[in-house]
Amino acid sequence: DGGITQSPKYLFRKEGQNVTLSCEQNLNHDAMYWYRQDPGQGLRLIYYSQIVNDFQKGDIAEGYSVSREKKESFPLTVTSAQKNPTAFYLCASRDRVSQPQHFGDGTRLSIL
């Protein structure tokens, strides 16, 4: 089935540790996005990539990093510099400009 796969579903981070969230899509979409969702906050854009080997910061990029080495993959690293990482992280992709984004099922990150 075509879709967007996020893994793991649940992730725990220790203080001072970097963790990486995976996002893979087999929809052949050019653009990919990472959002953070906190209760009552809606979706906030962390990073996005419109093409392989290129990405831009979103509204809340501090403490996060990404790479886009392959069209189908857009991993997000939550670094130790992100002091409040507990949230629900959503990955999305879309075919091209003007098309809707489609979302994965999310990764819930918690602090130990």
Partner 1 sequence: GQQLNQSPQSMFIQEGEDVSMNCTSSSIFNTWLWYKQDPGEGPVLLIALYKAGELTSNGRLTAQFGITRKDSFLNISASIPSDVGIYFCAGQGGRDDKIIFGKGTRLHILP
Binding site for partner 1 (CB under 8 A): 4, 6, 40-43, 50, 59, 90, 92, 97-98, 100-106, 108
Query: Which of 39, 18, 27, 41 lies closest to 92, judged by CA?
Result: 27
Beta carbon of residue 5, minimum distance to partner 1 (angstroms, whole number) = 11
Distance CA 37, CA 72 (A): 23
Distance CA 76, CA 95 (A): 20
Between 59 and 70, name the residue whose CB sits nearer to partner 1: 59
How crowded is residue 61: how many other Cβ atoms within 10 Å of its Cβ?
A: 16
On whether the CB atoms of residues 77 and 19 are closer than 8 A, the answer is: yes
Beta carbon of residue 73, minimum distance to partner 1 (angstroms, whole number) = 17
Between 43 and 52, name the residue whose CB sits nearer to partner 1: 43
Provide the 3-class DSSP secondary structure of residue 42: strand
Between 97 and 112, name the residue whose CB sits nearer to partner 1: 97
Between 81 and 105, name the residue whose CB sits nearer to partner 1: 105
Beta carbon of residue 99, minimum distance to partner 1 (angstroms, whole number) = 8
